[in-house]
Every structure is written in structure tokens, then in C-alpha cells.
Structure 1
Amino acid sequence: MPHHPPRVVLYSRTTAYRHDSIPAGVEAVGRLVAEDGFESVATEDPAALEREIPRCAVVVFLSTSGEVLTPAARDALRRHLAGGGGFVGIHAAACTEYDWPYYGELLGARFARHPDLQPGTVAVTDHAHPATRHLDARWDFTDEWYDFRAVPAGVRVLARAHESSYTGGGMGADHPLVWCHERMGGPVFYTALGHTAESFADPVFLAHLRGGIRYAAGRE
């Protein structure tokens, strides 16, 4: 049997708000997974996603929004996680599939609101993860600083927002931005960062994504 490199499927369908940064994100993530020896395919078609999921190691939702999955694609995603497959959510992946309780559990938290785009500081609290081990304890970044409906439960929080570093934060001292877990079967990684196209040209942010994808692929 020929050996095929592991595959990543990158999904960026939107039925609500559409981020202008999606093309830059698709291009950048495709490039970094190729550098890591993965094959990748990018799609916004739920039927294509349904076909790709069983063939891939990691499913990445890049700033998806609204209801983006057919019932068959939902089933494929659930089977993927149950079988140990990985999942990565980037930014507006938390604004997705509000009608599907399983997805809320999978991601860990649902988006509530955000203040204006502005600079702020990420507090990196766990450096023992591939997505954060290259970061300092304080990481200055420009983003939308998502608030969530609730603090994610049963997850390993890797980084939080320093709400004192920007205006309009609504969660207080315990404001997770980046986390991971394995409670659905396969490894799940989520980062709330990635609003701007510029972030996908930032080597520090790309190393953060690379580590999250490697974790989700079982490479770490």
C-alpha cells in the first residue's frame, strides 16, 4: 500500500457574518500544513466536507458562521471525533451551528459579543502545549477579543484575555481565549484569535496555529 500523507480539510463556509480575512487564512493555513507534510483541501461546500471528513486527520473550521452543516456532514463530524480524529476551530468557529448542541460541546463555548477591534494583551498560562510553547507570558495582539456565553468547562485553558489591556471586555478575570480538550474522543483545539488578514501574515500567530493543528493531528 502506498503511504499517503495525513490530510487536513479546511472549511470556511459562512451563512452569517463573513470575515474579510478568510482568503488570507485559507492560503496561510494551507501553506503551513503543507510545510508540515500534510495534504490539504479547502472547501465551502458541506457535501464536499462530508466526503472529505472520513479521509482526513484534522477538520479545521476557519471563521465559519451561522448554520454551515447538512445533517450528513454533522454525522460525519461526530463520527470523526468519536474515532479519534482532530478538530481545530479558528476565531468565528465559535459563531457557528448554534442550533446543534453537540457542536457547542465540541467547541467548548459559544460566542456572545465582542468590543471594537483593538490592540490588547493575551496572558499565556500554559506553555506546555505546541500552540503556546513559543509564546511569552504576555502576547500583544490586535483582535476582537471575543466574549463567550460561558467559561468553557472541562477544557485545558492555554491563554486568557487580559481585559485590563483593552476596553469593552465582558467576562472579567477568567476570560479564556485559547483552549483544548479530548473529551469528545479526538483532540480539539480552539483559538479565538484570527480576525484580521494581517494576523495570517504574522509568524507568531502562524506558529500558534501550526501547534494547534499538530496537536489535533496527534503529532505531539
Structure 2
Amino acid sequence: MIRLAIAFLALLAPGTAWAQAQYKLLVLAIPNKYHYEYIPIARDSLEHLAKLHAFEMVWTNKTETFDGDLSQYAAVMFLNTPGEELNPAQRAKFEAYMRGGGNAIVVHRAAITPAGAWPWYERLVGRRVGVHPMLQTGIITITDSGHPATFGVPDRWIWSDEFYTTTNPYKVNISTVLSVDENSYDPRKIWPGQVSLPMGRDHPIAWHHDHEKGRVFVTTLGHNGEMYRDPQYLAHLMGGVWWAATGMPRR
């Protein structure tokens, strides 16, 4: 009986090996005034993607996680949670992680941080987000069809979101992945007392670049909870995760 049990376990071993995670992703998601309802939906969807694509995901709403060993993570995702949530010591740990070859994914609200409060993080994002027009339906176009964050979306993608307007005070070079066609919505439509100006033909809404010794993927899409159930949005996000964590596919 014991021999049979050992033989049975031996048969299981190869399958277990194949199921090992390819890499480990840390997701920081802290609820805030405008972004909280997405959290259970996004967590469920990302857990599904992790199982489907054989990676390990660590989900946290505690910045204390950044006090630990970040080198175990292939990438860190700031999900609707800007870096300003980190205290000075945690910011230093994250900077050291990126200098050591770590990688980052910045999603929607995480791209917004007070101007000048943490210049290093602004450079990591690659753009400074100002005011933005109201959530509207517009047409997103693919700028870089070779990037995996575009593989699951159409060439002209009808999408409803807050299409952030950005500036580049630190002169960071980015590679645009997706743009938005300002002729498909009203870039001036905003709340009373505020002013939103068009960016023109060059209006990136998802991009990537290198920062320190790591890769950074930024998508400004992902305002409300239902988006984290949408297959095309999740394909876009998964493509960004895969690229940031692994650098694949090589081009």
C-alpha cells in the first residue's frame, strides 16, 4: 500500500511542476474617494488571470508590504493607487527596487500625483496628469500594434472612460501604445469652474518606457468597476502585465 501511494505521488509530481508560477506580481489597491467599488471586481478578475496565465499574484491594501523584500516580485502594480500613498522609507525601498531591475505597472488613478511631491514617481509615470474631462465614450486607436497590450483590442476601440490630459514637465521619452481620437468626444467637457483643453492628435492614453533599470507600463484607462469585467480591457491590462513582468515578446 505504501509503495502504491509513493508511485501515485510520483505520477502527480510532473503535473505539479508544470503548475508552478512563472513570476510573481504585487498589486497595491487602496480605496479612495472616487475609486473603491472596482476593488472586489478587479481582484476577482486578476486572480482569474493569474490562474489562467500561471503567475502568482499578491494583493494588498497595506503599504507596509513595501517594507518587505520587493525583489521577489517581477513587477509591482499600482492599481488606482498613486505612489504618494507610500511613506518616505517605502518610497526609498521602491526606488531601490526599480534601480535593481524591478518593473512597474501604473493603472488609471495611480498616474495622478501632486505636482512636485515626488518627482521620481512622476518620471516613472512619464507624464503629469492635470484636470481631465468627464467620462465619455470615445474611439481609442492603436499606436503600437506590436505591443501585447494591444493584442486583444480592435484597431478602433469604442470605449468610455476619463481620457486624461497630460503634460511632460520632465521631458521623459515614452512609447505610445494607445491614443484617443479627440474628434470622437468633447475634450473640453468638464465640471463648472474647471477648464480642460484638448491635446490634439498626439493624445496618449497608454504607453511604456524604461525607468532606472526597469520597465514601466502605464494605462490611464480603468475608471469604474465594470471595466474590470470587460474582456477587451482585461486583455489590454494582461498584455501590460506580461510585458512589464517578462519583457515578452522580444522585438
- Per the normalisation by structure 1, the TM-score is 0.90
Between the aligned partners of 1:80 and 1:34, the Cα distance in structure 2 is 26
**TM-fit CA distance, 1:29:** 2.0
Whether 1:156 and 2:175 are equivalent positions in the alignment is yes
Residues 1:65 and 1:83: Cα distance change in structure 2 (over 3 Å): closer
Between the aligned partners of 1:79 and 1:37, the Cα distance in structure 2 is 27
Is contact 1:64–1:96 with CA below 8 Å preserved after alignment? no
Is contact 1:14–1:65 with CA below 8 Å preserved after alignment? no
Alignment of 1:175-214 (within 5 A): 175-214=203-242
Q: Which has the larger radius of gyration?
A: 2
After superposition, what is the alpha-carbon deviation per residue over 1:28-62, rounded to whole angstroms, capped at 9, x for unaligned?
A: 22321332111111112111233152321110000
Residue 28 of structure 2 corresponds to 11
Q: Which has the higher helix share?
A: 2
Larger deviation: 192-201 or 75-84?
75-84
Between the aligned partners of 2:75 and 2:83, the Cα distance in structure 1 is 21
| Match 2:97 to one of 71, 77, 80 | 80
Is contact 1:11–1:49 with CA below 8 Å preserved after alignment? no
Residue 46 of structure 2 corresponds to 29
Alignment of 1:1-220 (within 5 A): 5-13=22-30, 17-51=34-68, 53-65=70-82, 67-96=84-113, 98=115, 99-150=117-168, 153-169=172-188, 170-220=198-248
Is contact 1:43–1:49 with CA below 8 Å preserved after alignment? no
Between the aligned partners of 1:161 and 1:153, the Cα distance in structure 2 is 20
Is contact 2:161–2:221 with CA below 8 Å preserved after alignment? yes
Between the aligned partners of 1:101 and 1:109, the Cα distance in structure 2 is 11
The count of aligned residue pairs is 219
**TM-fit CA distance, 1:139:** 1.0
Is contact 1:8–1:59 with CA below 8 Å preserved after alignment? yes
Residues 1:80 and 1:130: Cα distance change in structure 2 (over 3 Å): same
Residues 1:150 and 1:160: Cα distance change in structure 2 (over 3 Å): same
After superposition, what is the alpha-carbon deviation per residue over 1:68-95, rounded to whole angstroms, capped at 9, x for unaligned?
A: 0012221221122112211001101111
Residues 1:166 and 1:4: Cα distance change in structure 2 (over 3 Å): closer
After superposition, what is the alpha-carbon deviation per residue over 1:102-148, rounded to whole angstroms, capped at 9, x for unaligned?
A: 00000101221121112111111110011113332211111011111
Larger deviation: 67-76 or 14-23?
14-23
Residues 1:75 and 1:66: Cα distance change in structure 2 (over 3 Å): closer
RMSD: 2.2
Is contact 2:131–2:164 with CA below 8 Å preserved after alignment? yes
- Per the normalisation by structure 2, the TM-score is 0.80
Gaps of 5+ in 1: none
Amino acid at match of 1:127: S
Is contact 2:83–2:110 with CA below 8 Å preserved after alignment? no
Larger deviation: 65-74 or 194-203?
65-74
Between the aligned partners of 1:134 and 1:70, the Cα distance in structure 2 is 36
Residue 11 of structure 2 corresponds to none
